[in-house]
Structure 1
């Protein structure tokens, strides 16, 4: 599991890079790379703030939307057993499989918010 850090409302995934013995942060959900390095959490916050400012400034200069766009479509493969269980559960609740999956995703998002 990756560790995350929220900086100015943006989520960055934090990992340790043993080769340089530093923490590396990389913002997710952006339309390009915005990463940063530091030795401590406080430094990560400072460097992350700088990285975001530079990223947004460059996007503004280039007229680029800084955020990834999502189409709202996901394809997944389930085992036949899971597919059957999902279908039965959705039918029992009187909803579509799509609605049931969206409810599940909402629960996961709430848990990690």
Structure 2
């Protein structure tokens, strides 16, 4: 089983509670709290999909825009030295800092196994 569930572009966590023998999770990557649970993998998947559908319907009824999974904007904290070095590197390459950092992210995503092992 995958570590996460997916339905309509939303992802959900998969956790196991040994105390009560229940699988449970929540939609990840959004600010709203949406949870689900089930006693089997099949029940968990069905509960997740139902929770996503209920969340989207509730947002529609409230006239609220549903949270989007990963909007593409986040803050990265680093040391002053790294920030300075990246800024200088970007300037030398006549690039914006965001463009340089995105190139690094692209490299990491494409080479995950080589970089993170």
Provide the TM-score with structure 2 as the length reference: 0.66
Query: Which structure 1 segments of 5+ residues have no match?
Result: none
Larger deviation: 36-45 or 46-55? Answer: 36-45
- CA distance 1:100–1:51, change in 2 (3 Å): same
Which residue matches 1:63? 63
Contact 1:35 1:51 (8 Å CA) reproduced: yes
Contact 1:31 1:68 (8 Å CA) reproduced: no
Which residue matches 2:100? 100
Number of residue pairs matched by the alignment: 110
Name the Cα RMSD after superposition.
3.2
- CA distance 1:31–1:79, change in 2 (3 Å): closer
Larger deviation: 21-30 or 71-80? Answer: 71-80
Aligned-residue offset at 1:82:
2.2
Q: 3-state DSSP class of the match of 1:36?
A: strand
Aligned-residue offset at 1:108:
5.4
Provide the TM-score with structure 1 as the length reference: 0.68
Which residue matches 1:22? 22
- CA distance 1:75–1:60, change in 2 (3 Å): closer
Larger deviation: 56-65 or 13-22? Answer: 13-22
Query: Which structure 2 segments of 5+ residues have no match?
Result: 113-117
